[in-house]
Amino acid sequence: MEPVLTHQHDAVLEIALNRPDRLNALDRPLLEALGRALERAEDETVRAVVLRGEGRAFSAGQDLREAAGGGLDYQAHLARYNRVVLQIRRLAKPVVAAVHGVAAGAGMALALAADLRVLGRETRLTTAFARIALVPDSGMTYTLPRTVGWGRAFELLALSPDLDAETAMRLGLANRVVSEDAVFEEARGLAARLAAGPTRVYGLIKHALDESARLGLEEVLELEAQLQKLAGEGADHEEGVRAFLEKRAPRFQGR
Ligand code: LHQ
């Protein structure tokens, strides 16, 4: 069985984690397949990505059977996680995580690396790492405090509560909460809407937000000016302005 499934519908690439009997626990073959799937997302025919899980969960995080007994070289293994997290963040197009069931540990970290999260009303999130006496990884110490604030991050990481969808929404961890069986459709709808947008500019927005996390105000202002020059030269900007003046909806080509 392929550990990751991909399916492209129009300009939306759907990537599904596919170890349902293990709640899509992440092991080496799955992470390597996810890396290959994310390479496919670079294709210019792809303008948005949905990341989701098969079965009853998004992902239970690292496969603890693979990690048990000291047989796993954590540093080498983390390079596989780091690769996919960077692939998601550096992909110059939006990634929507469709999070149903549960997302734990590195599974939650993958969802946090995405640009938008759709949760089901019954979905639970848990950082999980400290429950098994591990520090957070897969970028969680970067994404979590930037999402929920520094004041809450330690509590979520140290005590690892089960967060329900309502709390996740309140903390800014979810963009949409829908009924559990509508999670994929909602995520696909969002991705389709984004795929019809100014894709190149979405990539620049993503870059600007990531960079702003480590820059001072003066540097942010400078970066915005540089990116605005790039955006302003784009065909989509010209189309957006023309559509506004002609009082019609823009037809963006993603350029
Ligand atoms: C699992 C797993 C799992 C294997 C459920 N592995 N089988 C760590 C190490 C090294 C380097 C890289 O980074 C990391 C990062 C991490 O991700 S650390 C955090 C790892 N994840 C966890 O600690 C979560 C462990 N799982 C759970 O706490 C629960 O399973 C959750 C809360 C996810 C779901 O609970 P339930 O809905 O009650 O399901 P369940 O526990 O009954 O699980 C169903 C099956 O899936 C079960 O197998 P079985 O044969 O008994 O039916 C579980 O053993 C298996 N499974 N998570 N991570």
Per-residue model confidence (pLDDT) at position 63 = 97
**For residues 81 and 148, what is the distance between their CA atoms, to the nearest angstrom?**
22
Give phi and psi for 61, each to the nearest 5: 85, -165
User: How sure is the predictor about 11, in pLDDT bands with cuts at 50, 70 and 90?
Assistant: very high
Mean pLDDT of 161-179: 98
Instruction: Say yes or no: 177 and 157 in one domain.
Output: yes
Instruction: Say yes or no: 160 and 148 in one domain.
Output: yes
Instruction: Say yes or no: 158 and 235 in one domain.
Output: no
| Tokens read off for 54 | 């098969």
Is residue 23 domain-resident?
yes
Pocket test for ligand 1, best of 17, 19, 22, 137 (most atoms within 8 A of CB): 22
Atom number of ligand 1 nearest to Cα 22: 46
Parallel/antiparallel/unpaired status of strands 4-9 and 12-17: antiparallel
What pLDDT, in 10s, does the model give residues 185-198? 999 999 999 999 99
Pocket test for ligand 1, best of 17, 21, 23, 156 (most atoms within 8 A of CB): 23
Is residue 127 domain-resident?
yes
Instruction: Say yes or no: 57 and 129 in one domain.
Output: yes
| C-beta of residue 30 within 8 angstroms of C-beta of residue 15 | no
- The H or E element containing residue 190 is helix 183-195
**Nearest C-alpha to atom 45 of ligand 1 is from which residue?**
22
Is residue 254 domain-resident?
no
Give phi and psi for 71, each to the nearest 5: -80, 0
**DSSP conformational letter for 179:** -
User: Is residue 251 predicted with pLDDT exceeding 90?
Assistant: yes
Q: Which of 145, 163, 162 is nearest to 154 (CA)?
A: 145
Is residue 251 domain-resident?
no
**Nearest C-alpha to atom 54 of ligand 1 is from which residue?**
22
Per-residue model confidence (pLDDT) at position 69 = 85
Is residue 250 domain-resident?
no
Domain count, the chain: 2
The CATH number given to whatever domain includes residue 209 is 1.10.12.10
Degrees, nearest 5: CA angle 216-218-220: 65
**DSSP conformational letter for 62:** B
Residue 226 sits in which domain range? 199-245
Pocket of ligand 1 (CB under 6 A): 22-23, 25, 60-65, 67, 74, 77-78, 81, 102, 104-106, 128-129, 131-132, 134, 137
pTM: 0.97
Mean pLDDT of 113-117: 98
Atom number of ligand 1 nearest to Cα 65: 4
Is residue 207 domain-resident?
yes
Q: Which of 161, 169, 167 is nearest to 118 (CA)?
A: 169
Instruction: Say yes or no: 97 and 189 in one domain.
Output: yes
Q: Which of 112, 142, 146 is nearest to 126 (CA)?
A: 112
User: Is residue 23 predicted with pLDDT exceeding 90?
Assistant: yes
Mean pLDDT of 168-184: 98
Residue 146 alpha carbon to ligand 1 centre in Å:
26
**% of the chain residues with pLDDT over 70:** 100
**Nearest C-alpha to atom 30 of ligand 1 is from which residue?**
60
User: Is residue 70 predicted with pLDDT exceeding 90?
Assistant: no
Instruction: Say yes or no: 90 and 108 in one domain.
Output: yes
User: Is residue 71 predicted with pLDDT exceeding 90?
Assistant: no
**DSSP conformational letter for 147:** H
Is residue 213 domain-resident?
yes
User: How sure is the predictor about 142, in pLDDT bands with cuts at 50, 70 and 90?
Assistant: very high
**Nearest C-alpha to atom 21 of ligand 1 is from which residue?**
61
The CATH number given to whatever domain includes residue 130 is 3.90.226.10
**For residues 32 and 59, what is the distance between their CA atoms, to the nearest angstrom?**
16
Instruction: Say yes or no: 102 and 171 in one domain.
Output: yes
What pLDDT, in 10s, does the model give residues 210-241? 999 999 999 999 999 999 999 999 999 999 99
User: Is residue 136 predicted with pLDDT exceeding 90?
Assistant: yes
Residue 103, exposed/middle/buried by CB under 10 A (0-12, 13-18, 19+)? buried
Instruction: Say yes or no: 147 and 207 in one domain.
Output: no
Residue 166 alpha carbon to ligand 1 centre in Å:
23
Instruction: Say yes or no: 133 and 209 in one domain.
Output: no
In angstroms, the Cα distances linking 186 to 141, 179, 227, 238, 243 are: 28, 10, 30, 30, 27
Degrees, nearest 5: CA angle 164-170-174: 70
Instruction: Say yes or no: 162 and 111 in one domain.
Output: yes
| C-beta of residue 16 within 8 angstroms of C-beta of residue 4 | yes
Instruction: Say yes or no: 173 and 223 in one domain.
Output: no
User: Is residue 83 predicted with pLDDT exceeding 90?
Assistant: yes
Instruction: Say yes or no: 181 and 95 in one domain.
Output: yes
Is residue 66 domain-resident?
yes
